[in-house]
């Protein structure tokens, strides 16, 4: 449980930096701030995934609540308009907690009142429940207490905003506790199931909501919302009220059953072996991991980040070990790997499945290579070679063949055995920011982590070929790996800096101090010697390490940008030029333990992870942000919840920082030591 103190709730500037996120397992979500003021166009009570996990539409933006006591109105909502914050409902807030659902506690004239929000798995359904809590004061008469709830609808793509228009159909259908609106013919209907209420079907527009975060990001930040009706509930007759907002027709008496099922599901969250360690960070990250695995047609996939990303090949492969294997969901991992294998084309994994359902995009050099690492991780956790033989081995073989002879974007194995990639106008590595025709970090040639992943892939194939008694292939892959290793150690070592070059392109060596070199050490099959690995880590620790992750560029570099802010062009220019990425701590921790040994490595890892835990209370509660400023105080930026941020910290915590140590302790205890 995460609890927010009253002093934070009463400080609007601070409170607006805290957000919450509920997801439904098919790409939809519900989200807002801890005071209920929407600061993003992505905030809303029901963002439905109409073509799971994409086709996302903000249907229900929010519910405006008013508590009426003895005829006096107390507005519980808070909104930002052009001139001021209006309806200061946050001043009645005395508590907010994630327990496990977002729950607001209000106190008005001695009356305590709670509101909780959760989503139903597998449906575009959000349940909002209100309840009077505790006994009413005996020294005065209350007659009656009424809760007025007014829905505000948007009905738009989640990347846009809506504005007052004449095309909206304001008709409201009401029957037997179900109120339905369908404002636009080509969009789904919104069904609101509710208990006994007086319904005011007079609709009107609320104009000029302001979304401060979008304004900061240089995007459209003003919106009009339509209210089709209002519900008035008599809380003296029934102290508990539920509203189910859904694209399905639901009955209000299902609300409590939905709640019980969801509570039980979260209790059981996955049979994760790491959760038995009772480490608070591991447990929190395990719960967070659940929000990223969603359904896509007949299989599972991974949402790269909330609020605005869909499923990406690179993010999925990097995140898969932490999200699905560290948490004990091997069958989900198999489903995802098999499905992506079905979409391999010209030896490349798709990097993105577009929102509108177009042809997948093949524009990355590393997503395909991370696929091999995900397979290696699957085998480490399950030893299920038969699954790999039956479903993946042929595809993996074809991928290597395509990379040897050459595929898109000049991706090919060079004469020195290393992998070349890149051509003008494209960005193929994870440092992929592009503004118009400007590729911010092109990294054409032979990027360091691509060589590491290529070598790892060759060694994985050598091991698979040996297991499957494919002797000729085993010898081929072993020879290719040996050649790549020799070339890498000759070309990439920068003796002057004591670390690895970031990119080698012919005679050009990019000596920028970046975190990509850590991946060359962290992978199970790595090329640098242990001495060189130690030197690399000391340089990275000195230049790039922060309390929130690794910087993408040394602050001593003239191209370093310490703050990720401004309009889209400015932000994209800073994205990989100093901005901190927490996902990189996964490889860093693994490399640290691997290089310096268990005692030193685990001490470093546990100390760093322990101080990082406070972040789970500072942005999106219980989640890990995508990025942070390179400069202190390392403000959270980007997506409020990022899959590989969660997954790599979880994987490193479970595999490197805690699990083995605690397992050893338990074994020692069993022996009576």
pLDDT digits (tens, 9 = 90+) for 13-40: 999 999 999 999 999 999 999 999 999 9
What pLDDT does residue 354 have? 64
Number of C-beta neighbours around residue 84 at 10 A: 9
Nearest alpha carbon to residue 285 among 662, 567, 585, 669: 585
Whether 519 and 644 share a structural domain: yes
Residue with tokens 């020195």: 416
Whether 256 and 341 share a structural domain: no
Whether 425 and 448 share a structural domain: yes
Q: What is the CA radius of gyration of the chain?
A: 27
Residues of the chain under the 70 pLDDT cut: 135-143, 270-278, 354-358, 659-673
Whether 37 and 55 share a structural domain: yes
What pLDDT does residue 664 have? 36
Give pLDDT tens digits for 425-439.
Answer: 999 999 999 999 999
Whether 372 and 478 share a structural domain: yes
Q: Which of 230, 264, 298 is the last residue of a domain?
A: 264
Q: What is the DSSP letter of 273?
A: G
Whether 109 and 256 share a structural domain: yes
Q: Which of 241, 264, 287 is the last residue of a domain?
A: 264
What span, in angstroms and rounded, lies between the C-alpha atoms of 331 and 322? 14
Domain span holding position 651: 272-670
Strands 412-413 and 419-420: antiparallel
What pLDDT does residue 33 have? 98
What pLDDT does residue 276 have? 43
Whether 249 and 283 share a structural domain: no
Q: Which of 231, 264, 297 is the last residue of a domain?
A: 264
Query: Cβ distance 213 to 204 under 8 Å?
Result: no
**Which pTM was predicted?**
0.94
Whether 201 and 308 share a structural domain: no
Nearest alpha carbon to residue 89 among 26, 32, 155, 47: 32
Whether 193 and 311 share a structural domain: no
Whether 94 and 36 share a structural domain: yes
Provide the CATH number for the domain around residue 295.
Answer: 1.50.10.10
15 token code pair: 């409170």
Give pLDDT tens digits for 594-609.
Answer: 999 999 999 999 999 9
What pLDDT does residue 21 have? 98
Q: List Cβ<8 Å contacts ≥24 apart for 534-543.
A: 534/595, 534/596, 535/498, 535/499, 536/498, 536/499, 536/500, 537/588, 537/591, 537/592, 537/595, 537/596, 538/498, 539/497, 539/498, 539/499, 539/513, 540/499, 540/513, 540/515, 540/588, 543/513
What pLDDT does residue 358 have? 67
Whether 202 and 351 share a structural domain: no
Total tally of structural domains belonging to the chain: 2
Provide the CATH number for the domain around residue 239.
Answer: 2.70.98
Nearest alpha carbon to residue 147 among 33, 230, 226: 230
Whether 256 and 277 share a structural domain: no
Q: What is the DSSP letter of 138?
A: S
């Amino acid at each position: 449980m995460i609890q927010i103190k009253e002093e934070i709730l009463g400080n609007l500037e601070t409170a607006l930096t805290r957000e919450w996120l509920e997801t439904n397992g098919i790409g939809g979500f519900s989200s807002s701030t801890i005071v209920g003021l929407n600061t993003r166009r992505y905030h809303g009570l029901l963002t439905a995934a109409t073509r799971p996990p994409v086709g996302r539409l903000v249907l229900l933006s929010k519910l405006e609540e008013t508590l009426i006591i003895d005829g006096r109105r107390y507005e519980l909502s808070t909104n930002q308009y052009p001139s001021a914050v209006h309806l200061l409902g946050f001043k009645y807030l005395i508590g907010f907690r994630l327990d496990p659902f977002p729950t607001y506690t209000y106190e008005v004239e001695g009356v305590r009142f709670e509101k909780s929000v959760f989503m139903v798995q597998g449906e575009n359904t959000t349940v909002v429940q209100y309840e009077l809590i505790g006994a009413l004061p005996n020294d005065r008469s209350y007659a009656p207490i009424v809760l007025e709830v007014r829905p505000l609808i948007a009905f738009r793509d989640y990347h846009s905003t809506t504005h007052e228009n004449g095309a909206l159909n304001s008709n409201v259908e009401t029957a037997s506790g179900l109120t339905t609106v369908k404002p636009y013919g080509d969009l789904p209907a919104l069904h609101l199931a509710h208990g006994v209420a007086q319904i005011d079907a007079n609709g009107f527009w609320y104009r000029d909501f302001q979304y401060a975060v979008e304004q900061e990001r240089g995007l459209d930040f003003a919106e009009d919302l339509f209210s089709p009706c209002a519900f008035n509930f008599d809380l003296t007759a029934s102290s508990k009220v539920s509203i189910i907002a859904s694209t399905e027709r639901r009955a209000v008496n299902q609300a409590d059953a939905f709640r019980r099922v969801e509570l039980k599901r979260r209790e059981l969250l996955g049979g994760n072996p790491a959760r038995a360690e009772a480490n608070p960070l591991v447990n929190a990250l395990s719960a967070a991991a659940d929000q990223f695995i969603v359904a896509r047609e007949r299989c599972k996939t991974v949402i790269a980040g909330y609020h605005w990303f869909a499923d990406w090949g690179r993010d999925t492969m990097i995140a898969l070990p932490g999200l699905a294997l560290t948490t004990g969901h091997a069958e989900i991992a198999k489903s995802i790997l098999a499905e992506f294998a079905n979409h391999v084309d010209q030896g490349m994994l798709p990097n993105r499945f577009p929102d509108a359902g177009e042809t997948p995009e093949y524009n990355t050099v590393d997503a395909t290579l991370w696929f091999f690492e995900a397979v290696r991780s699957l085998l480490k956790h399950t030893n299920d070679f038969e699954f790999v033989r039956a479903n993946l081995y042929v595809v993996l073989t074809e991928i290597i063949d395509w990379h040897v002879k050459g595929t898109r974007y000049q991706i090919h194995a060079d004469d020195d055995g290393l992998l070349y990639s890149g051509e003008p106008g494209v960005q193929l590595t994870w440092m992929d920011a592009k503004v118009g025709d400007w590729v911010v970090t092109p990294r054409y040639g032979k990027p360091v982590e691509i060589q590491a992943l290529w070598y790892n892939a060759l060694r994985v194939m050598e091991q698979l070929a040996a297991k499957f008694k494919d002797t000729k292939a085993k010898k081929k892959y072993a020879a290719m790996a040996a050649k790549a290793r020799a070339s890498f150690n000759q070309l990439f070592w920068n003796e002057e800096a004591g670390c690895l070059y970031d990119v080698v392109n012919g005679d050009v060596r990019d000596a920028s101090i970046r975190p990509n070199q850590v991946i060359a050490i962290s992978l199970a099959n790595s090329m640098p010697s242990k001495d060189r690995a130690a030197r690399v880590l000391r340089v990275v620790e000195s230049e790039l390490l922060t309390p929130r992750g690794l910087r993408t560029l040394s602050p001593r570099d003239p191209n370093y940008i310490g703050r990720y802010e401004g309009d889209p062009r400015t932000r994209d220019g800073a994205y990989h030029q100093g901005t901190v990425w927490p996902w990189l701590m996964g490889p860093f921790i693994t490399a640290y333990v691997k290089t310096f040994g268990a005692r030193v490595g685990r001490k470093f890892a546990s100390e760093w992870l322990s101080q990082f835990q406070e972040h789970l209370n500072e942005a999106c509660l219980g989640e890990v942000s995508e990025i942070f400023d390179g400069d202190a105080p390392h403000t959270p930026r980007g997506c409020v919840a990022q899959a590989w941020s969660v997954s790599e910290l979880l994987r490193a915590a479970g595999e490197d920082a805690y699990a083995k140590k605690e397992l050893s302790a338990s074994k020692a205890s069993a022996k009576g030591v």
